[in-house]
């Protein structure tokens, strides 16, 4: 730094070398306001490369004709063609509705079960540490493993779940859970909830550690029962963490088709067809990347709207 100043104080350069001497120029540069931008450049480039470029490319794709198995005409700008098609596409609307059901009920169950598990584990009961690890196991299973495991357990011929349900008399005969449109979505949601509720457990447990125990003592003395304490202390104190968990999970649920890909592939008869799966099929079995891009953009916009509305409604930003 001091060197930079010393150089700046020198008389004007006398030789041509001085005019292009990189060290001298670098020194001068470090004294200007551009220096800051120069230092930011590497991270800006990185962000541009890994975040901005794919996002912009995805948007651009949605206005482009891009069918990998029909090279002629690819790359042409087609304006809102894909979006117009979408409006008239009954499968899109069905997928949108199914996505709403899939996400809403999955989140609800995951949150409630995750909360109950976290509250139970937070009591430091005997064996709680072992239980805490066990309860997290589902989350560590890859989707593929969890999906295939449940597909097998729910199988209408050899599935152990059917066996149990028939034996305890809840079912008359083995049921093909994923072949009946009335149970396919619910069963898929059950598997999804089983797989991901530990995510809520994990985050809520972390949040619970941050709530001062004095608050519960004070509430005990004030006469608040367990439910009132949950409603008036625990949940409000967890608001930020719950909001973060819900948003992350909604993003995951909206974007990731892998569990449904294994369990149902959208069937039977599209009764579990969701947007992510539809986009996936459009891209990788119809090779229509333009339309798939448009579907992704719609999902992206819906997610942004959801996150914005949710943050506003849950008042996470307050105090």
Partner 1 sequence: MTAKFDRRSVLKLGGGMLAASALLPHQAFAQQTAINYWHTFTSQSEAAGLQAVLDLFKAAHPDVAVTPENIPNPEFMAKITAAVVGGSRPNVTMVSSERFEDLLAMGALSDMTDRIAGWERRGDFDDKRFASITKDGKTYGVPGFTFVDWGYYRKDWFDEAGLAAPTTYDEFRDAAIKLTDASKGRFGFGLRGGPGGQNFVVNVIEAFGSPVKKEDGTIGLDRDIVVKALDWYAGLLVKDKAVPPSAANDGFQQVISGFQTGQTAMIWHHTGSYQDIASKLKPGVEFGTFAMPAGPATRVARLAYAYNCITNDENADAAWEWIKFWGEPDAAVAFLEKTGYMPASTVAAQDQRIVGNPMYKAAADTLGFGIPQPSFPGAAGWAQNTVLPALQQILIGQATPDQAADQIIEGLAAAIA
Partner 2 sequence: MATLSIKGVRKSFGAVEVLNNIDIEVEDGGFLVLLGPSGCGKSTLLAIIAGLEPSSGGDILIGDKNVNDVHPKDRNIAMVFQSYALYPTMPVRRNIGFGLEMRKVDAKEREAAVQRAAELLQIEHLLDRKPGQLSGGQRQRVAMGRAIVRNPDLFLFDEPLSNLDAKLRVEMRTEIKRLHDRLGTTTVYVTHDQVEALTLGTKVAVMKGGVIQQLADPETIYDRPANMFVAGFIGSPTMNFLTGMLEHGDGGLVLRHAAGSLALVGLEQDVAAFVGREVVAGIRPETLNAGQGAAGLQGIVDVVEPTGPDTMVIVSVGGQLLTARLGPKVRPKPGDTLNLSVDTAAINLFDPVTGNRI
Rounded to 5°, the CA angle 32-36-39 comes to: 125
Q: Please list every residue from 205 through 234 that binds partner 1, using CB under 8 A.
A: none
The reply on whether position 228 binds partner 2 by CB under 8 A is yes
Closest by CA position to 191, among listed 138, 140, 227: 138
The reply on whether position 70 binds partner 1 by CB under 8 A is yes
Helices (H) and strands (E) in the chain, counts: 18, 0
Measured from the CB atom, the residue of 173 and 319 that comes closer to partner 2 is 319
Residue 188 to residue 106: CA distance in whole angstroms:
9
Encode burial over 68-88: b for 16+ CB neighbours within 10 A, e otherwise.
eeeeeeeeeebeebbbeebee
Determine which residue in the list 23, 221, 227, 285 makes contact with partner 2, applying CB under 8 A. 221
Closest by CA position to 273, among listed 284, 265, 263: 265
The reply on whether position 185 binds partner 1 by CB under 8 A is no
Closest by CA position to 184, among listed 98, 100, 299, 82: 98
Residue 69 to residue 60: CA distance in whole angstroms:
19
Determine which residue in the list 72, 77, 87, 319 makes contact with partner 2, applying CB under 8 A. 319
Q: Which one of the spans 10-18, 32-40, 150-158, 226-234 is the region binding partner 2 (CB under 8 A)?
A: 226-234
Secondary structure (3-state) at 77: strand
Closest by CA position to 174, among listed 156, 154, 151: 156
Determine which residue in the list 6, 8, 10, 25 makes contact with partner 1, applying CB under 8 A. 25
Determine which residue in the list 6, 8, 40, 41 makes contact with partner 1, applying CB under 8 A. 41
217 interface partner picked from partner 2, partner 1, none, CB below 5 to 8 A per type: partner 2
Measured from the CB atom, the residue of 17 and 227 that comes closer to partner 2 is 227
- Nearest distance from C-beta of residue 218 to partner 2, angstroms: 4
The reply on whether position 222 binds partner 2 by CB under 8 A is yes
Q: Please list every residue from 282 through 301 that binds partner 1, using CB under 8 A.
A: 282-287
- Nearest distance from C-beta of residue 68 to partner 1, angstroms: 4
Determine which residue in the list 6, 8, 10, 29 makes contact with partner 1, applying CB under 8 A. 29
Determine whether 24 is exposed, middle or buried from the number of CB atoms within 10 Å of its CB (0-12, 13-18, 19+): middle
Determine which residue in the list 264, 275, 290, 296 makes contact with partner 1, applying CB under 8 A. 264
Q: Answer positive or negative: Cα dihedral of 242, 246, 249, 251.
A: negative
Determine which residue in the list 229, 255, 256, 265 makes contact with partner 1, applying CB under 8 A. 265
Q: Please list every residue from 145 through 184 that binds partner 1, using CB under 8 A.
A: 151, 155-158, 173, 176-181, 184
Residue 259 to residue 191: CA distance in whole angstroms:
9
Residue 209 to residue 246: CA distance in whole angstroms:
19
- Return the structure tokens found at 252: 């995951």
The reply on whether position 12 binds partner 1 by CB under 8 A is no
Is 195:237 a contact under the CB 8 Å cutoff? no
The reply on whether position 71 binds partner 1 by CB under 8 A is yes
**Site residues (vs partner 1, CB under 8 A):** 22, 25-26, 28-29, 32, 34, 38, 41-42, 68-71, 144, 151, 155-158, 173, 176-181, 184, 261-262, 264-271, 273, 280-287
**Site residues (vs partner 2, CB under 8 A):** 212, 214-215, 217-224, 228, 232-233, 236-237, 239, 319
């Amino acid at each position: 730094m001091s060197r930079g100043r010393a150089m700046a104080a020198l008389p004007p350069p006398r030789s041509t070398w001085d005019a292009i001497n990189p060290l001298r120029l670098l020194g001068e540069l470090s004294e200007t306001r551009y220096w800051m931008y120069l230092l930011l450049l590497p991270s800006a480039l990185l962000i541009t490369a890994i975040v901005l470029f794919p996002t912009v490319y995805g948007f651009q794709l949605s206005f482009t004709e891009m069918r990998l198995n029909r090279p002629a005409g690819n790359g042409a700008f087609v304006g809102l063609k894909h979006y117009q098609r979408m409006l008239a596409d009954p499968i899109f609307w069905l997928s949108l509705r199914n996505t709403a059901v899939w996400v809403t009920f999955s989140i609800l169950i995951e949150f409630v079960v995750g909360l109950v598990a976290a509250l139970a584990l937070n009591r430091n009961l005997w064996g709680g540490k072992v239980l805490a690890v066990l309860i997290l196991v589902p989350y560590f299973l890859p989707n593929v493993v969890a999906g295939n495991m449940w597909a097998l357990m729910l199988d209408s011929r050899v599935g152990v779940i059917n066996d149990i349900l028939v034996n305890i008399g809840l079912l008359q005969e083995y049921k093909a859970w994923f072949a009946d449109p009335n149970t396919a979505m619910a069963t898929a949601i059950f598997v999804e909830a089983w797989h991901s509720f530990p995510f809520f457990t994990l985050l809520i447990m972390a949040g619970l550690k941050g709530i001062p125990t004095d608050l519960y003592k004070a509430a005990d003395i004030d006469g608040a029962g367990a439910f009132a304490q949950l409603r008036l202390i625990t949940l409000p104190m967890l608001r930020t963490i719950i909001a973060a968990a819900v948003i992350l999970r909604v993003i995951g649920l909206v974007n990731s088709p892998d569990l449904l890909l294994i369990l149902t592939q959208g069937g039977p008869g599209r009764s579990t067809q969701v947007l992510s799966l539809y986009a996936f099929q459009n891209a990788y079995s119809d090779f229509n990347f333009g339309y798939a891009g448009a579907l992704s953009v719609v999902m992206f916009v819906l997610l942004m709207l959801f996150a914005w509305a949710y943050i506003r409604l849950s008042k996470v930003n307050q105090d």
